[in-house]
A and B are shown apart, each in its own frame.
Chain A
């Protein structure tokens, strides 16, 4: 493997990984704190993308990137306050089912408002020029902007959680909600705010990524399960874990996509050939890049069975 391919994998993996981090860091907090595995998290991401498109139609991208996450976050907080809080008494499975229903509802509503076909959400003109070139590929300034912004957001969350009083209360509510409530903090409100904040982060990821990966009603379904992979792999409530897991998954998938190797190559290396017309060839000719969609799910299953607390988690899922 040449150094250029390696560089390509590392840089693209970094871009994709940081995108995954933005998408799933909110859910890590929500899941770690409330035990709610929000199935509709990727739906909030989708709403963010569509709102980003709609607002930038009326004004510009910079206003969209500021306001759309706030609106999405507010929606998330409302869902927690009027929906999930009432269902809490039926247990986590009911909450999971509620968000599963919400996922369907949001997808249908988005289709109803913006149609079934992708909308033309464009990268802002200001940043739409090639900035750097790595192994023959041009990277527009916009991807660098996304990368920098997501790193900044990681640093900000990490700092808030580890250095401020707010972070202390959040972390305490994560492990011991009753005692935090006894100390006079409004724990349900903390929950609501964290839920809203998490959804807002997903919304921000949507505004930033919708114009790159395409804004369409099926984007939530495509990305939803991958969010769970990141959350589970990283560990409950661990923002550091989410970052590491995102980067690992990002690198693994980019690496898998760019490897056009299959079992036939391995057999050839060992000195015998598979007949092109045999049934066996149908299996041995499948390349690693074709198998790349299954990589995250395989990781999800293995982690949950072998190490349910993930990389940095302190307790099991």
Chain B
């Protein structure tokens, strides 16, 4: 029994990898596969980003530089294979090239920008981001301006019989790289270097007193993070067979920031959670509504204000209860259900209102919210959703206080258990 309990995490991970391997057989539609591929790429990117933001405490607005430029380089290599400059280069190792380019860029830019921390560092990264975005539009010969570059990934020698024509072969390529790089990044957090990153984040002066060069640690973390971002960018380019200036822009950097932060920067699994959920929402919502960036922004701001540890933090908050007194979870169930219902009320009311306002700009007077067709000409509908939103706000406020009271009681209970 003991060994099972000790190894349950390992078994869980094997089970997870096993499921991931069979995912293309469970979801055969091309839509699902494309979504999984996108998720895989963004998981690598956001975990790499969190190496910097969560583990070393450096906020970067320019991490898309390494993602995008590695993508550009990979596309050039891909078209090099297309044009028979180096026909025997396997596509499989393109992410290595991307990672190397990310590392080289991160090494140089990191040397300059890790001289500063905090807001100044963030500003430097923003400056580099804008600089590189402007350069991609200036150097047309390499970046091809606003159109970006295309290349064909079904090319060159077919090693192991892989042509990368069908999407599921790309899925396995991305899956391999995703597991491989996330594993390495996880192992990095367990090394003395990973621990020193945390120390530099938490207390720079103490880390200095221990005898470490804090800047060197920041520089190393920056370069490594850029390296993995480069690998992700390379996979992104292979996946879409196209890369454009928007993948080096502030929008892409902002997206990965959203993913890491909403998922939770305090935990290693947070960015993975964030990348999966936001990519899913992104794909689903961008079909249904035009205001999805607005919803992203609002979720982001709410997470900053009320759950600075993100989704992962909210889940892991329950860890002490599960470990010490799982029976207390029952006590939390009822307030949680009420809280959930109030949030649902608010979300339905608010999003419907936003969609109603949005529909005023278009020519259609009838719109579909939550599978129901309504007309924006009807005055009563407006009143109804405004009331629903207000009701949602009030219910949220009330159930938040209630949940907090119960939560405090539960935590108090556990603390008492320790004293006894």
Contact = CB atoms under 8 A, between A and B. Distances in A.
Interface stretch (A11-19, A122-130, A290-298): A290-298
A100 B304 CA distance: 11
29 contacts: A35-B119, A87-B304, A90-B308, A93-B57, A93-B59, A93-B122, A96-B59, A97-B59, A100-B257, A100-B300, A102-B297, A102-B301, A104-B300, A105-B294, A109-B294, A112-B291, A112-B294, A221-B250, A232-B123, A279-B141, A286-B138, A291-B138, A293-B134, A294-B130, A294-B131, A300-B126, A304-B124, A316-B120, A317-B120
Q: Which of B113, B116, B138, B293 has the most CB of A within 10 A?
A: B138
A305 interface: yes
A308 B120 contact: yes
A45 B116 CA distance: 29
A168 B115 CA distance: 34
Interface of A: 35, 37, 83, 86-87, 90, 92-94, 96-98, 100-105, 107-109, 112-113, 115, 221, 225, 228-229, 232, 279, 282-283, 286, 290-291, 293-294, 297-298, 300-301, 304-305, 308, 316-317
Given A105-B298, A228-B123, A291-B138, 9 more contacts: A83-B305, A92-B119, A96-B122, A98-B305, A101-B298, A113-B357, A232-B123, A305-B124, A317-B119
Interface string B286-310: 0000010110111011001100100
Nearest to A92: B119
Given A108-B293, A283-B139, A304-B124, A94 B304 contact: yes
Contacts of A93: 57, 59, 118-119, 122
B294 A104 contact: yes
A300 B59 contact: no
Given A37-B123, A282-B139, A97 B304 contact: yes
A101 B300 contact: yes
A108 B294 contact: yes
Contacts of A90: 304, 308
Nearest to B358: A112
Contacts of A107: 293
Interface centre among A92, A100, A282, A298 (most CB of B within 10 A): A100
The secondary-structure label for the interface of chain B is: helix
A304 B127 contact: yes
Contact of A301 (B124, B141, B291, B308): B124
B261 interface: yes
Interface string B348-366: 0000001001100100000
Contacts of B291: 108, 112
B361 A297 contact: no
Nearest to A94: B304
A200 B339 CA distance: 38
Contacts of A83: 301, 305
Nearest to A98: B304
B112 interface: yes
A109 B34 CA distance: 30
Contact of B128 (A100, A301, A308): A301
A304 B120 contact: yes
Given A87-B304, A104-B294, A279-B141, A304 B123 contact: yes
Given A101-B304, A112-B361, A282-B139, A301 B297 contact: no
Contacts of B357: 112-113
A290 B300 CA distance: 36
A27 to B, nearest CB: 12
Given A225-B126, A279-B141, A301 B112 contact: yes
B112 to A, nearest CB: 6
A4 B115 CA distance: 43
A297 B127 contact: yes
Contacts of B294: 104-105, 108-109, 112
A93 B120 CA distance: 10
A236 B405 CA distance: 43
B108 interface: no
A305 B110 CA distance: 12
A181 B128 CA distance: 39
Interface string B125-150: 01110110011001111000000000
B254 interface: yes
**B127, B139, B294: residue with the most chain A Cβ atoms closer than 10 Å:** B127
B141 A282 contact: yes
Nearest to B300: A101
B139 to A, nearest CB: 7
Contacts of A300: 123-124, 126-127
A171 to B, nearest CB: 21
A299 to B, nearest CB: 9
* Pairs of residues from A and B, 3 with the lowest C-beta to C-beta distance, nearest first: A104-B297, A108-B294, A282-B141
A97 B261 contact: yes
B169 to A, nearest CB: 35
A63 B304 CA distance: 38
A232 B116 CA distance: 14
Contact of B134 (A87, A92, A94, A294): A294
Contacts of B301: 83, 98, 101-102, 105
A285 to B, nearest CB: 10
Interface in B235-275: 250, 254, 257, 261
A138 B304 CA distance: 50
A103 B127 CA distance: 17
